[in-house]
Amino acid sequence: MISVLKKMIIVTLVFPALLSASLLAQESSQRLNPYDLRLYHDAAGKVQKVQTPADWQKRRQEIIRGMETVMGPFPGDDQRVPLNVEVIEEVKLEKYTRQLITYQSGPDSRTPAYLCIPHAASKDHKVPAVLCLHPTDNKVGHKVALGLGGRAGRNYGAELAERGYVTISPAYPHLANYWPNLGKLGFVSGTMKAIWDNSRAIDLLASLDYVDMSRGVGDIGHSLGGHNAIYTAVFDPRVTAIVSSCGFDSYPDYYDGAERVWYFGKGWCQIRYMPRMSDYRGKLDQIPFDFPELLGALSPRPVYVNAPLHDSNFRWKSVDKCAASAAPIYDLLGAKGKLVIDHPDCDHNFPEAQRQKAYQLFDTVLKK
């Protein structure tokens, strides 16, 4: 399955780090309807109907180019330097050992992370792994994914370790104690730096002789981690099961399209997210990618989405609209029913029942 996904997921580094206004205008003028994934541009630039998986790959490449227009380019393999893992702290718990580590995510950057290793894991007994991406927390950062502070119900890194998974929970750029110099490192957004750090975390998992990568890895996140789980999986085909909790609605629906959240430094336009998003204030329909397309780009992989009815950040009706738009691509790729949307009667939260459904998805996909 992984080899097939690698062929399907093509990352085209077309856009340089800095794009001229004219190029942005040209790209937006060719924008396809984000809610109609059955359209693509052929080699001559004409709009055609998606009828085959090969047709869909052309649309998918266009989606990725749109992401890179805003996020900056996904780094090349020359940036996959030796990981040089350093263990800073180790705590042995009842079912697993928790390590605070750093790893070399790029030539001039080290990323902190928590690595949890079930006691049963060994070279002779390999276990699957999950990338656990934390929500916004500027006090404890990635500690919240381990239940070491922050709000309850976000400790999926610890709960999955107790369930027998190796888990890794990287810090997110410009939160808590992780402040990489994005510009100096060549990143135009914190989002792309996070995607890269996450991909390198998967490299780290793959390097461990007690991790079973034969069925890929899972990724999971709440809120900030919810959309980064999606972004990371779009770029990294080794992610074979995705869980996003309270992580998105369509960009034009974000806070009901209020203009105040589309200024530089606000909402999606913060440096730690995607500052170029502010270029689209007043023309949100021209943002060159959106979540209906990202959900389609994840197909045929299974995706579980927790979208509460009373989430004040992301609108559940918009989530449903995104999913409905992606459904034809799941059908086309033989994955009907693999995109699941759940609507618990709660606020911006990840309840126990929904976390258990997420873990069951990982059990189904990753465990033999």
Cut 0.95: pTM above it:
no
Average pLDDT, stretch 177-182?
96
pLDDT confidence bin for 280, thresholds 50/70/90: very high
Instruction: Please state, for a pLDDT cut of 90, what percent of the chain lies above it.
Output: 90
pLDDT at site 275: 97
Q: What rounded mean pLDDT belongs to the chain?
A: 92
pLDDT at 235: 98
pLDDT at 368: 78
pLDDT tier at 30, thresholds 50, 70, 90: confident
DSSP annotation of 73: P
Residue 3 pLDDT > 70, yes or no?
no
Q: Do the Cβ atoms of 128 and 365 come closer than 8 Å?
A: no
State the Cα–Cα distance between residues 65 and 63, nearest whole angstrom.
5
Instruction: Give CA separation, 256 vs 35, 263, 312, 313, in Å.
Output: 17, 15, 10, 10
13-22, 85-94, 359-368: the lowest-pLDDT one: 13-22
The domains found in the chain, sorted by start residue, are 77-366 (3.40.50.1820)
Q: Give the model confidence (pLDDT) of 289-302 as tens digits.
A: 999 999 999 999 99
pLDDT band at 27 (very low <50, low <70, confident <90, very high): very low
Give the burial string for 276-288 (b: 16+ CB within 10 Å, else e): bbbbbeeebeebb
The whole-number average pLDDT for the span 178-198 is 97
Give the residue-averaged pLDDT of 207-236.
Answer: 98
Q: What gap in Å lies between CA 290 and CA 181, rounded to an integer?
A: 27
pLDDT of residue 218: 98
